[in-house]
């Protein structure tokens, strides 16, 4: 019989089983980061090789992240039926299938098949994400949940820094800059042959990814990772939830899901569009490809600060307030401050570096929202985790809105889409997380 743990009785002493469990969850977050942030290079790559506009290329993010919305509730039922470890194995295998779909998609240069493969990878992550986030939230004391999330964030963003660079190294050549210039000048037969060769470069990396994901599923299934018991509440929490019959009766959770929707949507918009934005300012793709890694690098530095500062010097609520407020300031500066600067070997518009700096503001929002939104759910925690994961579809919707405005106006002004996202996040940080009653007559807060 597998071991279980529950944080309802207070902090547990650190032991090797807990340390190994955290390491395993860290591996999961590394995989999340690798398979997620690799899309930053796929978007401009597909835009060229499949001859797409801004909005069409951003369907990469839509197909990937909409799976979280469609599959989050079925994923919760699956985890409830087969348990977390078997559910994680199934999730990895669905991701492996999605990676294999890239093979026929590349052989036929069919963009729709690529989107199906990305949806399959997203579906697998919709199973893995709630399991991993609930694990790391409940494995220790509530006060240190944001700190543990920060550690997971380091794993996630480390993979995010590596992934676009590895894929770029696998599918881009030093001669591609000249190739991209010549494509519009080629006749149809020559251009199609060149594009076929270009797109088929994804076959080897994604086949390799499929093999690794399948193997990881087996490793996790037979690891010492314990099952989580979210059904047994402590007496005080059981009394508080005795009148609750539905997850919808927790407004702070629903508001938290909206907060995650806008947080990940704004974060992914910045990361997945910065290459295209840099190109619109005159930087070549082979130079612009590094900018997503810069964003993820500064985001990881935020996670490292979180590990040191939370909760000894600042609690997760105040961290959320600092992050959301600074995000609004940086967004406004993005539109107000212009001019060329030379930094890290790049001569580029200052606005690009302000977009990079937003990575620091975005870094700790996720880790602060989760414990606030899951607080007090008790037996509703598993479903609550899946509701929060549904918020990840913001990464599908917000970039598409950006793409629409980029096509109809310009890539710079399209970033106005970020401002309302951060305004709501400020609302949640100062008020929304406390709302406990849907009544318009009397909104109870604590």
- Mean pLDDT for 270-281 is 88
pLDDT of residue 340: 87
Tell me the C-alpha distance between 126 and 74, whole Å: 9
**Does the pLDDT at position 412 exceed 70?**
yes
pLDDT of residue 15: 60
Local confidence band at 446 (pLDDT 50, 70, 90 cut-offs): very low
- Here the tokens at position 301 are 């530095």
Lowest mean pLDDT among 211-225, 336-350, 430-444: 430-444
**Does the pLDDT at position 3 exceed 50?**
no
Contact between 388 and 253 under an 8 Å Cβ cutoff? The reply is yes
- Mean pLDDT for 261-285 is 89
- Here the tokens at position 268 are 């992914």
- Mean pLDDT for 403-432 is 92
pLDDT digit string, tens, across residues 96-153: 999 999 999 999 999 999 999 999 999 998 888 877 777 777 766 666 666 677 778 7
**Does the pLDDT at position 444 exceed 70?**
no
- Mean of the per-residue pLDDT values of the chain: 82
Rg of the chain over all Cα atoms, to the nearest angstrom: 22
Helix and strand element counts for the chain (H, E): 20, 4
- Mean pLDDT for 426-438 is 87
**Does the pLDDT at position 20 exceed 90?**
no
- Exposed/middle/buried for 57, CB within 10 Å: 0-12, 13-18, 19+? buried
Local confidence band at 240 (pLDDT 50, 70, 90 cut-offs): low
pLDDT of residue 237: 52
pLDDT of residue 115: 93
Q: Give how far the C-alpha of residue 371 lies from the chain's centroid of Cα atoms, to the nearest Å.
A: 17
pLDDT of residue 143: 66
Predicted model pTM: 0.70
Local confidence band at 361 (pLDDT 50, 70, 90 cut-offs): very high
Domains of the chain, first to last: 15-228+247-434 (1.20.1250.20)
**Does the pLDDT at position 224 exceed 50?**
yes
pLDDT of residue 5: 44
Q: Give how far the C-alpha of residue 114 lies from the chain's centroid of Cα atoms, to the nearest Å.
A: 19
pLDDT digit string, tens, across residues 58-80: 788 788 888 888 887 888 788 77
**Does the pLDDT at position 360 exceed 70?**
yes
pLDDT digit string, tens, across residues 387-411: 888 888 888 889 889 988 988 888 8
- Mean pLDDT for 381-388 is 79
Enclosing H/E stretch for 4: strand 4-5
Which residues fall within 8 angstroms of residue 81, CB to CB, at 6 or more apart? none
pLDDT of residue 339: 86
Helix ranges (H only) for 337-410 are: 350-362, 365-374, 381-390, 394-408
Between 143 and 318, name the one with better pLDDT: 318
Q: How many C-alpha atoms does 337 have within 13 Å on its Cβ side?
A: 16
Tell me the C-alpha distance between 234 and 146, whole Å: 22
Local confidence band at 92 (pLDDT 50, 70, 90 cut-offs): very high
- Per cent of the chain over pLDDT 70 is 87
Lowest mean pLDDT among 227-241, 359-373, 414-428: 227-241
pLDDT of residue 4: 43
pLDDT digit string, tens, across residues 294-303: 898 898 888 8
- Per cent of the chain over pLDDT 90 is 26
Lowest mean pLDDT among 24-33, 105-114, 262-271: 24-33
- Mean pLDDT for 183-199 is 87
Helix (H, G, I), strand (E, B) or coil at 254: helix
pLDDT of residue 203: 92
């Amino acid at each position: 019989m597998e071991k279980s743990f529950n944080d309802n009785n207070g902090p547990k002493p650190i032991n090797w089983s807990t340390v190994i469990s955290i390491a395993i969850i860290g591996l999961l977050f590394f995989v999340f980061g690798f398979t997620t942030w690799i899309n930053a290079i796929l978007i401009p790559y597909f835009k060229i090789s499949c001859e797409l506009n801004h909005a069409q290329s951003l369907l990469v993010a839509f197909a990937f992240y909409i799976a979280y919305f469609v599959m989050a509730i079925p994923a919760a039922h699956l985890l409830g039926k087969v348990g977390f470890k078997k559910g994680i194995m199934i999730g990895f295998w669905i991701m492996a299938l999605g990676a294999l779909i890239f093979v026929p998609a590349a052989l036929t240069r069919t963009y729709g098949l690529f989107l199906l493969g990305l949806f399959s990878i997203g579906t697998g992550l919709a199973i893995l994400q709630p399991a991993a986030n609930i694990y790391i939230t409940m494995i220790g004391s509530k006060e240190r949940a944001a700190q543990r999330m920060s550690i997971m964030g380091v794993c996630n963003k480390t993979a995010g820094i590596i992934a676009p660079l590895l894929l770029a190294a696998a599918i881009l050549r030093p001669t591609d800059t000249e190739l991209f210039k010549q494509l519009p000048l080629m006749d149809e037969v020559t251009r199609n042959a060149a594009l076929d060769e270009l797109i088929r470069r994804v076959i080897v990396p994604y086949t390799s990814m499929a093999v690794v994901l399948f193997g990881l599923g087996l490793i996790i299934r037979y690891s010492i990772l314990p099952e989580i018991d979210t059904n047994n509440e402590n007496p005080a929490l059981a009394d508080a939830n005795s009148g609750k019959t539905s997850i919808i009766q927790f407004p702070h959770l629903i508001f938290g899901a909206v907060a995650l929707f806008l947080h990940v949507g704004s974060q992914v918009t910045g990361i997945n569009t910065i290459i295209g934005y840099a190109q619109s300012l005159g930087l070549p793709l082979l130079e612009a490809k590094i900018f997503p890694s810069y964003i993820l690098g500064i985001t990881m530095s935020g996670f490292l600060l979180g590990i040191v500062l939370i909760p000894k010097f600042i609690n997760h609520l105040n961290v959320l307030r600092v992050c959301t407020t600074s995000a609004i300031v940086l967004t406004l500066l993005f539109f107000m401050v212009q001019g060329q600067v030379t930094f890290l070997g790049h001569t580029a518009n200052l606005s690009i570096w302000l977009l990079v700096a937003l990575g620091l503001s975005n870094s700790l929002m996720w880790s602060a929202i989760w414990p606030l939104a899951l607080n007090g759910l008790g037996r509703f925690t598993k479903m609550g985790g899946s509701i929060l994961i549904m918020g990840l579809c913001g990464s599908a919707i917000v970039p598409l809105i950006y793409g629409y405005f980029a096509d109809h106006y310009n890539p710079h002004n399209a970033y106005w889409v970020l401002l309302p996202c951060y305004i709501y996040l400020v609302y949640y940080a100062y008020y929304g997380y406390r709302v406990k009653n849907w009544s318009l007559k009397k909104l109870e807060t604590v």
